[in-house]
Amino acid sequence: MLVHARPFPVIQTRASQPRLIEVEAERVNEVQSSAGVRAQAYDVARIRGDFGLIQNDVEHEGLGLDFCGLRLANPIVLLSGCVGFGEEYTRVEGFSNQDVGAIVLKGTTGKPRLGNRPHRVYETPDGMLNAIGLQNPGVDHVVDKILPTLDFSETRFIANVSGSTLEEYIEVIRRFDDSPIDAIEVNISCPNVKEGGVQFGNDPDMSARVVEACRKATSKPLITKLSPNQTDIAYNAQRCIEAGTDALAVINTLTGMAIDAELRRPVIGNVQGGLSGPAIKPIALLKVWQVFQVARPHGVPIIGQGGIANATDALEFLIAGATTVGVGTGLFYDPLLCRRITAGIADYLARHHLTRVSELVGTLDASPSPIGCYST
């Protein structure tokens, strides 16, 4: 058996080395290159199995956390629309769903949707514009055909729900309620569809109505995904909390456009798209911090997201008030980003003598700095 060709002196089952995932990744890579193979993700899982490692053994000490009653191996959440239906990155050498706390599936609607006409993605300085338009095979297909193929022992899977009408949201939520999915994220912030989406999410009354109706339709943990394209995201968050959401996802993409000057035409077929990636990080950080001010008194956790591309970004979101951190566009640049982020967070915890990642959440000290600038 390939993995027994070399000794693995460092890995011990249930060992508590802070850099366990990194060490494991290095060893897996060593084995692969010495054997001249390019392993698939299932090989990595098998290697773990050969060592008697189970999912939580590859947790860094202190990175596990509880989120809406779900146990997550670490605070990393793969974001909707960036990982298909949880299978996409398992085809990438060295990637494993076990490396993340949760995966949010592609936005799902009542009926199948083909999405928008091309072009649907465009790279921008430090980010990307997309206007996919919620292309998906419809909730029946997702529940009947896709969910049975997912390995729920590897990570937590979260459905992402959209609709053109309140009734459609309810129909899709009910379908997922009667499925093995671990939690449901309500997307009231998609900027790329003509009906529903951000139309609902930018109106606090309508947001609250959608959340209230969805709350009644499921007993599973309910996450509401908020739009940054609105005047007062904190007020909207407050209304969604009052309407019964268990958690908030902050933020979805910002609306933007790209123009081909030679043709004098928009690049994106839908004219406008949603901007994601590092370009939006400062905006996302502020929105997370603002939402945290209203979410904290209710104990409502936040999935912070928007441009996270390394461990420092993730740490900033945790400090701003996010309980978990979402990674989306960053994966397009580096599919193995999550391992680097978890290793970096674990390193930070050790350097700052913290035992649990939850100790970091919302620790931003925004009081006037003693060495800051004061007007005289």
Ligand X SMILES: Cc1cc2nc3c(=O)[nH]c(=O)nc-3n(C[C@H](O)[C@H](O)[C@H](O)COP(=O)(O)O)c2cc1C
Interface residues with ligand X (CB under 6 A)? 79-82, 106-107, 128, 130, 132, 134, 160, 187, 190, 225, 252-253, 276-277, 280, 305-308, 326-330
Of 172 and 280, which has the nearer Cβ to ligand X?
280
The count of C-alpha atoms lying within 13 angstroms of the C-alpha of 9, restricted to the half-sphere facing its C-beta, is 0
Of 31 and 217, which has the nearer Cβ to ligand X?
217
Per the CB < 8 A criterion, the answer to whether 214 and 184 are in contact is yes
Residue 131: burial class (beta carbons within 10 Å; 0-12, 13-18, 19+):
buried
Of 49 and 118, which has the nearer Cβ to ligand X?
118
Per the CB < 8 A criterion, the answer to whether 10 and 27 are in contact is yes
Per the CB < 8 A criterion, the answer to whether 200 and 162 are in contact is no
Question: Least distance in Å: CB of 284 to ligand X?
Answer: 7
Check if 214 is active-site.
Answer: no
Question: Least distance in Å: CB of 122 to ligand X?
Answer: 11
* Assigned token pair, 16: 């508590």
Of 32 and 187, which has the nearer Cβ to ligand X?
187
Question: Least distance in Å: CB of 251 to ligand X?
Answer: 7
Of 341 and 361, which has the nearer Cβ to ligand X?
341
CA 271 – CA 133 distance, rounded (Å): 12
Of 62 and 328, which has the nearer Cβ to ligand X?
328
Question: Least distance in Å: CB of 76 to ligand X?
Answer: 11
Cis bond upstream, residue 184 (ω within 30)? no
Question: Least distance in Å: CB of 328 to ligand X?
Answer: 3
Question: Least distance in Å: CB of 205 to ligand X?
Answer: 21
Name the residue with the smallest CB distance to ligand X: 81
Question: Least distance in Å: CB of 56 to ligand X?
Answer: 26
Task: Compute the radius of gyration of the chain from its Cα atoms.
Answer: 21
Q: Among residues 68, 82, 190, 214, which one is catalytic?
A: 190
CA 203 – CA 267 distance, rounded (Å): 29
Of 270 and 305, which has the nearer Cβ to ligand X?
305
Residues acting as catalytic residues: 190
